[in-house]
Structure 1
Amino acid sequence: MNPPRLLLAAPHSGAGKTTAALALLLRLRGLGLRVRPFKVGPDYIDPTHLERAAGLRPYNLDGFFLDEAGLLALFAHGMRGADLALIEGVMGLFDGKDPLGRVGSTAQVARILGAPVVLVVDAKGMAGSIAPLALGFARHDPGVQVVGVVANRVGSERHAAILREALEAHGLPLLGWLPQDPALELPERHLGLVLAGEVEPPLRALEGAGFWDLEALLRLAKAAPPLPEPPSFLPERRPPRVRVAYAWDRAFSFYYPEALELLSALGAELVPFSPLADEALPEAHALLLGGGYPELFAEGLSENQAMREAIRGFRGPILAECGGYMYLSEGLWVGERLFPMVGLAPGEARMGGKPVLGYREVEALRDNPVAARGDRLKGHEFHYARLPASPSPAWRRVGGGEVEGWTDGRVLASFVHLYLPARPAAAQRFLAQAEVLIG
């Protein structure tokens, strides 16, 4: 296996990785190439923009969720029918779960995939200093091959020429640059970028902005070393046996595509529905309530009393994560207003305070739809909401001891976004519990 591939990384968050990835995807797509985008880390938001630019669904590559064989298998799975991979990193190149960036970092993915790394540098207010900055990253880890630089927020063509000269004096090419232009920026809010679909990424402006040495970039992508043949990422597909309804609208859209594909391969017929707009659930044997932004649509969710009652009366297994947990709660406070929610999970959710974020390995405290007591699963948290301590917590955090979430055995509501492909048995358990409704 040896697909052409490039990885866009940066010295730190906010340097412009997503902006550069969108611009490069557009240029490569303009050459007639099918470029599969990937995103390092547990990000749900950036991939929505990458998909708009590439016209292909992105996949998440995360070295905490998956081991080396799993990452290679997912990468190969994503590359079916694609000509080239463009991987957007997360945070800074060597930022991860541990201080050395060995786990959960962009560098870990670069090492496993043998992906040439292009460093995206915010060059605003910078001239010759770009060289020692880039050189430090290029020389830090022999297993990570930094092959060149893309400069973001460049003031002028003269500025770009200065940056190019400074880098080339030390053997690093300037492979592209983007100008400092507010029209190229992507809007942000409390969980990161605004989702594509709520705001359109500035694709037209990016398409012709700046400069890209496409010939050099393609040459570097094709020079990536061969990879070992991986195992299949998905099990052999089974015929559909249960219907799983999943929340999909402006309030709820945080799902890993590979997790949905796993459920489908195991025999789930996936049916989307909108807690905002639909008055009734589709015919289904299980419910998925993913994450999203219920706090932005609390009034609409609360006003749809028919849907709240339908979910409250549902008798199959329910998996609710983060925003889905908030929706299943008794109510959601936004500022000084309380909006009644479904009322299956005890407590009222409140927004505010510092974000809770980080990787999680959790152990089931009692049987639930995806785990038997004692089972361990991997996931992550990223939220500002709080709920009071649960009378029947679902999880104990491994290594920390904190308890979290709520379950009654049939319903699991938790702030942890679980990564089901890391433990396919959890997905199998979910569908097996749904089969009970079929008889």
Structure 2
Amino acid sequence: MQLPRLLLAAPHSGAGKTTLALALLQALRERGLAVQPFKVGPDYIDPTHLELASGRRPYNLDGFFLDGEGLLSLFRHGARGADLALIEGVMGLFDGKDPQGRVGSTAQVARLLQAPVVLVVDAGGMAGSIAPLVQGFARFDPGVRVVGVLANRVGSARHAEILREALAPLGLPLLGWLPLDPGLELPERHLGLVLAGEVRPPLEALRKALRLDLEGLLRLAGEAPPLPEAPPFLPERHPPRARVAYAWDRAFRFYYPEALELLEALGAELIPFSPLADGALPQAEALLLGGGYPELFARELSENTPMREAIRRFRGPVVAECGGYMYLSRGLWVGEAFFPMVGLVPGEARMGERPVLGYREVEALRDSPLAQRGEAFKGHEFHYAHLPPSPSPAWRRVGGEEVEGYTDGRVLASFVHLYLPARPQGALRLLLSAQNPLG
């Protein structure tokens, strides 16, 4: 596979990777190129912005969820029909699950995909110091090839020229820059950026503000070496097995697209519905309630009594993750206000001050719609809400004693966002249990 590609990385979070990615996607599209975006790491939010700017569905590349062959298969799957791939990294270039950044890091993906790396540097308040900073990242790992720099929050054209001159002795070009302008910043909230569907990113302003050596960028992307063959990421499409209704609105929309595609390939007919706006469930044999921001819409969710009652009456398998878990609880506390929720799982959810986050590998304590007892799954957590310990926990942390979630065999609810492509048997089990509900 010979596909031009670039990976945007940074020394640390908050340098402007997403902002530069949006600006680049527009510049490349204006050139007439079909650009496939990818996002490193377990991220549901940045991809909404990347999709808006590119017109193509982004995919997540994560070296904790998938091995090298799996990552290569997913990359090839997502890049079909593209002229170029643009990969946005996560956190700092060498930040990952372990202190050396060997697993779950942007560097791991860069090595596996042999992708040239462009370092995004927050240059505000920086001049010549950009050179030793970039030099350190460029020399740290021989398997990661840094080929140039994009500067963010640049004070002026003269400031950009100083940065360019400082980088010249390293043989690394300043490929482009964005000025210091609050109007170019993307809005944030407690889980990261605000979803693209809620507040439109300043795409037009970014397009006009970007100063870019487009020819140099394309030349470096084209120097990426051919990639080896890899098996198909998805199985051959199976005839229809079950209809799966999945929550999709402003309150719930955190799903990995490759996980939904896996369900479809295994025979699911996916039907979106809105717990906020709909008064009834669609005809379906299984329910998916993904993550999101139920705390921002607690009153509307609580006041939609017909939907809460419809979910309580539903008799097929139900899988709820994070925000979906909160929605299935007896109620949600937001500050001093309490909002009744579905009540399918015990306990009341409360918003905390500090996040619970990180990769997870969990083992099933009992049978559920996704897992048989003893099976292990990979996923991640990122939430501020808490629920009291369940009388029937679903998972135990692999290598530890911590238990989490709830299952009664038909309902599975947990704060862990599972990555189903890492264990497709779970997705198949859900569809088979939908064909044969417990009643």
**Is TM-score (shorter-chain normalized) higher than 0.5?**
yes
The corresponding residue for 1:133 is 133
The corresponding residue for 1:257 is 257
Give the CA RMSD over aligned residues.
0.9
Once the 2 structures are TM-superposed, how far is the Cα of residue 10 of structure 1 from its aligned partner? 0.1
For residue 379 of structure 2, give the secondary structure of its aligned residue in structure 1. Answer: strand
The corresponding residue for 1:214 is 214
Once the 2 structures are TM-superposed, how far is the Cα of residue 237 of structure 1 from its aligned partner? 0.5
The corresponding residue for 1:321 is 321
CA distance in 2, matches of 1:401, 1:84: 45
**Residues 1:384 and 2:384 aligned together:** yes
- Please tell me the residue identity of whatever aligns with 1:13: S
For residue 386 of structure 2, give the secondary structure of its aligned residue in structure 1. Answer: coil
Give deviations 1:411-437, integer Å, cap 9, x for gaps: 000000000000000000000000115
Once the 2 structures are TM-superposed, how far is the Cα of residue 239 of structure 1 from its aligned partner? 1.9
For residue 170 of structure 2, give the secondary structure of its aligned residue in structure 1. Answer: coil
CA distance in 2, matches of 1:437, 1:65: 29
**Residues 1:201 and 2:191 aligned together:** no
CA distance in 1, matches of 2:214, 2:87: 16
Deviates more, 1:74-83 or 1:208-217: 208-217
**Residues 1:424 and 2:424 aligned together:** yes
Deviates more, 1:247-256 or 1:212-221: 212-221
CA distance in 2, matches of 1:364, 1:115: 37
For residue 87 of structure 2, give the secondary structure of its aligned residue in structure 1. Answer: strand
Once the 2 structures are TM-superposed, how far is the Cα of residue 400 of structure 1 from its aligned partner? 2.6
Structure 1 stretches of at least 4 aligned residues deviating more than 6 Å after TM superposition? none
The corresponding residue for 1:88 is 88
- Please tell me the residue identity of whatever aligns with 2:336: E
The corresponding residue for 1:396 is 396
The corresponding residue for 1:168 is 168
- Please tell me the residue identity of whatever aligns with 1:424: P
**Residues 1:153 and 2:159 aligned together:** no
Structure 1 residue ranges without an equivalent (≥5): none
Asked if the contact 1:244–1:285 (Cα under 8 Å) also holds between the matched residues in 2, the reply is: yes
CA distance in 2, matches of 1:438, 1:399: 31
The corresponding residue for 2:248 is 248
Once the 2 structures are TM-superposed, how far is the Cα of residue 128 of structure 1 from its aligned partner? 0.3
For residue 385 of structure 1, give the secondary structure of its aligned residue in structure 2. Answer: strand
The corresponding residue for 1:300 is 300
Once the 2 structures are TM-superposed, how far is the Cα of residue 226 of structure 1 from its aligned partner? 1.2
Once the 2 structures are TM-superposed, how far is the Cα of residue 75 of structure 1 from its aligned partner? 0.1
CA distance in 1, matches of 2:103, 2:414: 24
CA distance in 1, matches of 2:169, 2:83: 33
CA distance in 2, matches of 1:438, 1:100: 46
- Please tell me the residue identity of whatever aligns with 1:8: L
Give deviations 1:139-158, integer Å, cap 9, x for gaps: 00000000010000000000
CA distance in 1, matches of 2:56, 2:385: 32
Once the 2 structures are TM-superposed, how far is the Cα of residue 238 of structure 1 from its aligned partner? 1.1
Asked if the contact 1:285–1:438 (Cα under 8 Å) also holds between the matched residues in 2, the reply is: no
Once the 2 structures are TM-superposed, how far is the Cα of residue 438 of structure 1 from its aligned partner? 11
CA distance in 1, matches of 2:210, 2:253: 33
CA distance in 2, matches of 1:210, 1:436: 55
Q: CA, structure 1 residues 438+333, in 2 after alignment: closer, same or farther (shift >3 Å)?
A: closer
In the superposition, the TM-score normalised over structure 2's length comes to: 0.99
CA distance in 2, matches of 1:289, 1:210: 39
Give deviations 1:368-392, integer Å, cap 9, x for gaps: 1100000000000000000000000
The corresponding residue for 2:359 is 359
In the superposition, the TM-score normalised over structure 1's length comes to: 0.99
Give deviations 1:54-94, integer Å, cap 9, x for gaps: 00010000000000000000000001111100000000000
Give deviations 1:120-166, integer Å, cap 9, x for gaps: 00000000000000000000000000001000000000000000000
For residue 72 of structure 2, give the secondary structure of its aligned residue in structure 1. Answer: helix
CA distance in 2, matches of 1:48, 1:142: 33
CA distance in 2, matches of 1:168, 1:231: 42
Once the 2 structures are TM-superposed, how far is the Cα of residue 208 of structure 1 from its aligned partner? 1.3
